[in-house]
Amino acid sequence: MKITLKDGSVKEYGQAMSVLDIAKDLSEGLARVACAGEVNGEVVDLRTVVDTDCALNILTANDEAGLRTIRHTTSHVLAEAVKRVFPDAKLAIGPSIDTGFYYDFEHAPFSREDLDALEAEMKKIIKEGAALEKFTLPRAEAIAFMEEKGEPYKVELIKDLPEDAVISFYKQGEFTDLCAGPHLMSTKGIKAFKLISSSGAYWRGKSENAMLQRIYGTAFNKKEELAAYLEHLEDIKKRDHNKLGREMELFTTVDVIGQGLPLLMPKGAKMIQTMQRWIEDEEEKRGYVRTKTPLMAKSDLYKISGHWDHYKDGMFVLGDEEVDKEVFALRPMTCPFQYYVYKASQKSYRDLPLRYGETSTLFRNEDSGEMHGLTRVRQFTISEGHLIVRPDQMVEEFKGCLALAKYCLQTLGVEEDVTYHLSKWDPDNRAKYVGEPEVWEETEQHIRDILTELEIPFVEDVGEAAFYGPKVDINAKNVYGKEDTMITIQWDALLAEQFDMYYVDEKGEKVRPYIIHRTSMGCYERTLAWLIEKYAGKFPTWLCPEQVRVLPISEKYMDYAMSVEKALKDNGILCTVDNRSEKIGYKIRETRLAKVPYMLVVGEKEQEAGLVSVRSRFAGDEGQKPLAQFIDEICKEIRTKEIRKEVVEEQK
């Protein structure tokens, strides 16, 4: 048989060989660090036997799939440790993930002390060095095997597999787990690991199922890599918007108000107001007209749009259709409302494109397990818009929406942090979508061509389209690596028909328009969370809720400090005076901790000469300046929305 290696060279063998034996033949050193193999693109165990011509890549911990194999094996070691320390715990699932691994158990919540005990037991298991042995059973025998072990979640997983499925297991010492692999050859291959945390997680991610306990961990090939990652986690904790945003008094939550319903405090509200005014002004420059529509509507509206059939479970419904004459629902989107703004008068082809913009408060009934800080909430506000266009205008208007999105990302300083996704329909799940296949294929190709022409790198995601059309999703990851959609631009060639929308063309005939659903910056709450984590709370000056703090050296200079504050406020600068009877060193430290961009120290010399002593987050002590000069400089910085170089460097 001929084995084509990663470098293109070919090795020939006269008999079947395991991936590990081939690795040994290539290099004993390679075999020692090998974690798994990749045969014709499929990741397999080193114990897998190769008996036909194929392409083979030996994977080490330097390969993503090799590192995942280490982490997956570590999750099995965790499961064995849990069964040793807590024999009554029931096993669920334990995959590798981008940052390590997790395993779900039916058990009481795990404390940090429990995790420490489990780590100690895991080290014992690794030291024992048991080989991992793979075996298979027919479906019926596999069910009986796990029923005998008293593992109901494993039984459920097996029962979901086809009748003729052959089920694979891995055994390490006295512990056996249901698993497809791949795994290391033995537990001794685990060099460095750490259990990070634990939390609740619904079985199979559904709130109607049992609440399990999930233990998160990570593993690396070297202790130095693990130490660097743990240091990174400490930095993440400092940046986590859910922690930092509360410490900075940007937002809070209250149990009696409800989960997913954050309260924006004055500083957070000011930041969102700044962004909202900026977006609304920018959209107006680009030809948008504003609407303001109701927060709720009768179910009749959502039935026309299709949301009642496709999205009702995600809506807050007010009333019971079987009892009440009229049933209302809080709006999860604005599009059908703006369609009726369009329909209020007859439109000519000369009236198009029509660009409607609205700062929309929306409501979505998120599962409690999905909600987190400001990133996923039940009430939120977005920079929503709908463009009603002629078919011949669609491509250029779609490009315009992308240009607006890119401008917003650039201005916020986050353009390099996003990925673009072409979210497509799933032809194997027709019930989820409206419209015919040829319409979907045509519209998806249009978006593909636009992104290619604009040289925007993108990936394609099957099954992520809205039920009425494909879209571009612009995504970003939070500090924990979870990806969220920040901006969406959707191509809709279908809903105009359902709402009987039309325009009169140059021949006097009625024609259906196309619609673009888009956000320019997305959800304000989610964007605020993103910015908190991006800048670790040290925002660009134009976004800061407090841009300058005036620090009088003593009470003797309070009047001058107040006059400085007035001059700043007269120029639209957000500022305060620290009028406490504290030493100036203390005031300076407090201002630094508050992450205020500029502090102006004023005393006798400054008062006599009309100066301010400037200290900034960017350059430290900037020396004395005439007050008028400082005002000119900071006003320019705010007006141009400059992100000073020193701020960017601090984030690296």
Q: What angle do CA 112, 114, 116 make, to 5 degrees?
A: 70
Starting at the edge strand that comes first in sequence, how are the strands of the sheet with 317-318 ordered? 296-298, 328-330, 317-318
Angstrom distance (rounded) from CA 296 to CA 331: 5
Predicted confidence at residue 652, as pLDDT, reads 36
> Residue 50, class by beta-carbon neighbours within 10 Å (0-12 exposed, 13-18 middle, 19+ buried)?
buried
**Length of the chain measured in residues:** 652
Residues of the chain above pLDDT 70, percent: 99
Q: Contact, 117 vs 227, CB < 8 A?
A: no
Residue whose pair of structure tokens reads 């969220």 in the numeric block: 484
The CB-side HSE value for 72 (13 A sphere, CA atoms) comes to: 25
For residues 621 and 599, give the distance between their C-alpha atoms in angstroms, rounded to a whole number.
Answer: 10
Q: What is the pLDDT of residues 258-315, one digit of tens each?
A: 999 999 999 999 999 999 999 999 999 999 999 999 999 999 999 988 888 878 888 9
pLDDT (0 to 100) of residue 169? 96
Which residue has better confidence, 556 or 430? 556
Cα-based angle 12, 15, 20 (whole degrees, multiple of 5): 80
The predicted structure's pLDDT at residue 164: 87
- Model pLDDT for residues 507-557, shown as the tens digit of each residue: 999 999 999 999 999 999 999 999 999 999 999 999 999 999 999 999 999
- Share the mean pLDDT of the chain: 93
Residue 389's pLDDT is what?
Answer: 97
**Helical H segments across 476-523, by residue range:** 495-498
Angstrom distance (rounded) from CA 338 to CA 191: 59
| Average pLDDT rounded to a whole number, residues 209-214 | 94
So what's the pLDDT on residue 358?
Answer: 97
Q: Do strands 54-60 and 2-4 pair parallel, antiparallel, or not at all (unpaired)?
A: parallel
Residue type, 405: A
Residue range 572-586: mean pLDDT, rounded: 95
Lowest pLDDT segment from 311-325, 391-405, 489-503, 534-548: 311-325
Residues whose CB falls within 8 Å of the CB of residue 593, separated by 6 or more in sequence, listed in order: none
pLDDT at 322: 76
Q: What is the dihedral of CA 490, 494, 495, 499, to 10 degrees?
A: 160
Closest by CA to 133, choosing from 93, 163, 176, 102, is 176
Confidence class of residue 647 from pLDDT cuts 50, 70 and 90?
Answer: very low
Predicted pLDDT at 646? 60
Question: Helix 394-412 crosses helix 437-453 at what angle (to 10 degrees)?
Answer: 50
Residue 610 token pair: 């009309």
Q: Choose the weakest-confidence range: 185-194, 361-370, 411-420, 642-651.
A: 642-651
On whether the CB atoms of residues 382 and 524 are closer than 8 A, the answer is yes
In whole angstroms, give the CA distance from residue 131 to residue 435: 54
Residue range 147-168: mean pLDDT, rounded:
93
pLDDT tens, position by position, 31-84: 999 999 999 999 999 999 999 999 999 999 999 999 999 999 999 999 999 999
Give residue 387's pLDDT band: very low, low, confident or very high (50, 70, 90). Answer: very high
Give me the pLDDT at residue 63, please: 93
Does the pLDDT of residue 636 top 80, yes or no? yes
Query: What does the pLDDT read at residue 651?
Result: 40
Residues 6+ apart with CB under 8 A from 458: 419, 420, 421, 422, 451, 472
Q: With 60 as the cut, is the pLDDT of residue 648 above it?
A: no
| Tokens found for residue 476 | 């970003």
Residue type, 139: R
Cβ–Cβ under 8 Å, residues 259 and 378 = yes
Residue 375: Cβ within 10 Å count? 22
Is residue 486 pLDDT above 80, yes or no?
yes
Least-confidence region, from 261-275, 361-375, 382-396 = 361-375
Could you give the percent of the chain with pLDDT greater than 90? 83
Q: Check whether 587 has a pLDDT greater than 60.
A: yes
Alpha-carbon distance 528 to 383, whole Å?
Answer: 13
Q: Give backbone dihedrals phi and psi of 603, rounded to 5 degrees, phi first.
A: -145, -150
